[in-house]
């Protein structure tokens, strides 16, 4: 068997609007939009420099339908670089760029081959004795087990299965093309190039089953380094290494407060906790969510002037490093039992709203109201799973705390 190397990428999500960030900080959102493009350009650089024999994208090249042709032209420009370097590209449509989703087209270079969506197809690289098998998504939702219909392996060749799937389930990712590792193993392939899950994961070693993760983090749910995988095959032996491509990152910082902490003391706690994050950044801008928990005597004071305190926390972040940007200040503080006496009216309101969870009817009403607001947001910034940047229960907690603090001021 010949020796060769290839790049396995997935979930480029080119054109992602970063709507959650856009609602909080338009400049920070634009930084991450640019980062997603830089990540793909950096991966193309790696492919050319390392003389990859071919390049696989296992679904979700795009984030959704294009507003215009700019994102298609960008992708065309980058894969044309691979064409000039003699590197074939094999694309598979995922749920975000299914045939039913992407309505615009740009003619791609001749080095690009796209797996069919109606049934599995096979591409063969005769010189390398490599066969690639895959089926893309015709519709956004693919609930059937696609893997079981993949063809038999080519005898004596290196066989690669390309599939966009959640496997048996990977929270919080939606269950698309569900299947098991045993289903994959039953096809007799040498390597499975998967997509859809945004975290890097070696699912199995025999055969090697890999989620490379996405190239660039897109929200606070996607922290840490992001990239693709370079796979090297020598006489049938497989080795892999991660290629880190992201140019901006997300991170979370948990601050445990003490009851007697003043606002100034809380800011010092933030600054003291920032130092380890510099290593996490690895020279990249960082969108940081700061979560404060615990009982606090100054809870009402902070909540009543939360925007001012947020700006102070941002200033503390910049004192720690010029490229640490506050993605969100998440105050999950509880009233301190020893705090000053509150009025009976405020105590009653706090008790009414201090429930651990919210009833289903309230969640449904909140979802309907959020949908109405999202539909009115400009430029499609309300599109996506989290149009206001957070889960419904998180938004309700914030609204509850603000109401309690305002009542405390009035009472």
Distance of CA 354 to the CA centre of its chain: 32
pLDDT score of 57: 97
The Cα 29–Cα 258 span in angstroms is 33
The Cα 73–Cα 93 span in angstroms is 18
- H or E element in which residue 184 lies: helix 181-185
The Cα 346–Cα 342 span in angstroms is 6
Q: What is the pLDDT of residues 289-333, one digit of tens each?
A: 999 999 999 998 999 899 999 999 999 999 999 999 999 999 999
pLDDT score of 376: 62
Q: Are 206 and 213 in contact (CB under 8 A)?
A: no
DSSP conformation letters of 13-46? -BT---HHHHHH-HHHHHHHHHHHHHHHHHHHHH
Query: Against a cut of 0.75, is the pTM above it?
Result: yes
Q: What is the pLDDT of residues 142-174, one digit of tens each?
A: 788 999 999 999 999 999 999 999 898 666 656
The Cα 19–Cα 381 span in angstroms is 5
Coil/strand/helix, residue 83: helix
pLDDT score of 385: 54
The Cα 42–Cα 44 span in angstroms is 5
Q: What is the pLDDT of residues 71-114, one digit of tens each?
A: 999 999 999 999 999 999 999 998 888 777 777 788 999 999 99
Domains along the chain? Answer: 3-244 (3.60.21.10), 248-342 (no CATH), 347-410 (no CATH)
Query: Comparing 65 with 387, which gets the higher pLDDT?
Result: 65
């Amino acid at each position: 068997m010949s020796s060769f190397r290839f790049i396995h990428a997935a979930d480029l999500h080119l054109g992602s609007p970063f709507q959650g960030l856009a609602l909080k900080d338009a400049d920070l959102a634009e930084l991450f939009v640019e980062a997603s493009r830089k990540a793909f350009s950096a991966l193309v650089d790696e492919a050319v420099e390392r003389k990859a024999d071919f390049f696989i994208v296992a679904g979700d090249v795009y984030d959704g339908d294009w507003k215009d042709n700019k994102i298609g032209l960008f992708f065309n420009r980058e894969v044309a670089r691979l064409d000039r370097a003699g590197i074939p590209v094999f694309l598979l449509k995922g749920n975000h760029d299914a045939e039913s989703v992407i309505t615009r087209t740009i003619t791609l270079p001749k080095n690009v081959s796209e797996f069919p969506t109606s049934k599995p197809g096979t591409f063969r690289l005769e010189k390398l004795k490599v066969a690639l098998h895959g089926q893309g998504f015709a519709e956004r939702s693919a609930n059937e087990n696609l893997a079981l219909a993949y063809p038999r392996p080519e005898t004596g060749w290196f066989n690669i299965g390309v599939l966009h799937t959640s496997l048996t389930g990977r929270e919080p990712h939606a269950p698309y093309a569900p299947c098991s590792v045993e289903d994959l193993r039953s096809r007799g392939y040498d390597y499975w190039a998967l997509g859809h899950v945004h975290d890097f994961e070696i699912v199995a070693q025999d055969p090697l089953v890999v989620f490379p993760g996405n190239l660039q983090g897109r929200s606070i749910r996607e922290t840490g380094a992001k990239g693709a995988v370079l796979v090297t095959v020598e006489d049938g032996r497989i080795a892999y290494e991660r290629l880190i491509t992201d140019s901006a990152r997300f991170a979370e910082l948990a601050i445990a407060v003490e009851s007697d902490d003043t606002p100034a003391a809380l800011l010092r706690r933030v600054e003291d906790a920032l130092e380890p994050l510099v290593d996490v950044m690895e020279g990249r801008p960082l969108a940081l969510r700061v979560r404060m928990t615990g009982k606090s005597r100054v809870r009402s004071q902070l909540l009543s002037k939360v925007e001012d305190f947020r700006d102070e926390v941002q200033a503390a972040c910049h004192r720690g490093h010029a490229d640490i940007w506050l993605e969100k200040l998440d105050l999950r503080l509880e009233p301190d039992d020893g705090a000053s006496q509150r009025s009976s009216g405020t105590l009653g309101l706090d008790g009414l709203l201090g429930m651990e969870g919210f009833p289903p009817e309230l969640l449904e009403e909140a979802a309907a109201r959020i949908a109405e607001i999202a539909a009115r947001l400009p430029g499609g910034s309300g599109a996506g799973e989290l149009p206001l940047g957070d889960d419904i229960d998180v938004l309700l907690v914030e609204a509850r705390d603000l109401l309690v603090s305002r009542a405390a001021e009035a009472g």
